[in-house]
Each structure stands twice: as C-alpha cells, then as structure tokens.
Amino acid sequence: MTGSPPTVEVVLTGELDIATYEDARRRLEDAERAGPDLLVVDLAGLRFVDSSGVRLVLSADARARQAGRRVALRLGDGIARRVFAALGLLDRFQVLDAR
C-alpha cells in the first residue's frame, strides 16, 4: 500500500502548557508529516491544559484545513473537554469518544 495513512493518532497525557508545548508541537508535526487524512489528537488523559495547549490544537487544525485534511479530538470528560467547551470550540472539531 502506498500513499498517506488515513488516520494518525497522537495521545497527549499529563499537562499541556507552556512548559510542555514544544514537545507536544514536535509530536503533532511529526504525525502531520505522514500526511494523514485525519489527525486525531487525544487529550482525554490530560490533567491540565492552558491557552498554549489550545493554541497548539488550533494551529494543527489550521494547517490541516489548509492541506485539505481534518483534525478530530478525543476529549474525555475531564479538563480538556471543559476548556474546549468554555471557549466554544466543541463545534469546530469532530469530537470522538475516549478510548
């Protein structure tokens, strides 16, 4: 089989903030290089997410849209869902069930 994989999933756990931003950014960009039709970002295992984490996801989404691809999120029922809901971002993404 040749070409891009249909889906690539990146699981982020712990904290997603300014201190962890660069590592998370590299992980997402590495996944994007595979050129998947759908990039799934699993945030369900996060204990904390701040504005830099939201910016990370929004930037990945902007790059995906520009390339004709999609980003979906796994948010679970914790802090990630509360943050994205409070910011009115749930309708912007396909939200998948947590694993």
Are the beta carbons of 11 and 43 closer than 8 angstroms? no
Can you give the pTM of this predicted structure? 0.93
Residue 3 phi/psi, 5° resolution?
A: 95, -170
Residue 99 pLDDT more than 80? no
Across the range 3-16, mean pLDDT stands at 92
| Amino acid 1: pLDDT | 44
Q: Label the pairing between strands 70-74 and 94-96.
A: parallel
Catalogue all structural domains in the chain, each as residue range(s) with its CATH number. 7-96 (3.30.750.24)
pLDDT range class, residue 5, cuts 50, 70, 90: confident
Are the beta carbons of 56 and 28 closer than 8 angstroms? yes
